[in-house]
Amino acid sequence: MGIGEILPSIHKYQGWEGQYYRMRRWFEKFQKTQPGNFEDPQINEEHDILYACFQNIFYMKDWLHHSAKISKAELNNFININLELKICRDICNGTKHFNLNSASVDDDFTIIREYNPFHKILEQDECHLIILTGGHKFELKHLAWQCINLWDEFIRDHNLKVIGH
């Protein structure tokens, strides 16, 4: 590196791979949350983690475009043929803008907490966070995992390599 040459900012240094790992770290944090009592002060932090997880999953699109030089058209097409990523886009934009002007699935999606009556027997969370959108119902942790798996497929299909993955 020559004198006067500037290194990229730390947020850009690893390119799309940095975003890939950031997305996975937010998912790990989301996995550890428990949809609890809405009167618990901790609930806001859990919701923040939920929103940040889906935002970072969706932002893979921008990082793949700018860092891996994948065309916007190809990325948009990939998202538009995958319901899970379209819902992810709505969650991302809905938590950013409050109202959605042009939703991918439903401009009035609803995120709710659903009691799991078999949680003790199945050793699962007592409640699940659910999204109701466009006639579909998804458990949000499972939806996030499905979206990550779709990005994994996309990355593999484009012969991109994630170090250590």
Which two tokens mark 17?
Answer: 């791979």
Interatomic CA distance for residues 102 and 121, integer angstroms? 42
Q: What pLDDT score does 51 carry?
A: 93
Which two tokens mark 75?
Answer: 């990325």
Residue 40 banded pLDDT, cuts 50, 70, 90? low
Q: What is the pLDDT of residues 137-158, one digit of tens each?
A: 999 999 999 999 999 999 999 9
Q: What pLDDT score does 86 carry?
A: 97
How far from the centroid of its chain's Cα atoms is residue 69's Cα? 21
Question: Has residue 38 got a pLDDT over 90?
Answer: no
At residue 57's C-alpha, the angle toward residues 124 and 144, to 5°, is: 20
CB 58 within 8 A of CB 22: no
Q: What is the pLDDT of residues 76-129, one digit of tens each?
A: 999 999 999 999 999 998 888 777 778 788 888 988 888 878 878 888 777 888
pTM of the predicted structure, to 2 decimals: 0.87
For all residues of the chain together, what is the average pLDDT?
A: 87
Residue-wise burial string across 19-56, b where 16 or more C-beta atoms lie within 10 A, e elsewhere: bbebbbebbeebeebebeeeeeeebeebbebbbbbbbb
The secondary structure of 29-81, three-state, reads HHHHCCCCCCCCCCHHHHHHHHHHHHHHHHCHHHHHHHHCCCCHHHHHHHHHC
CB 25 within 8 A of CB 52: no
Q: Report the candidate in 82, 92, 93 with the shortest Cα–Cα distance to residue 150.
A: 82
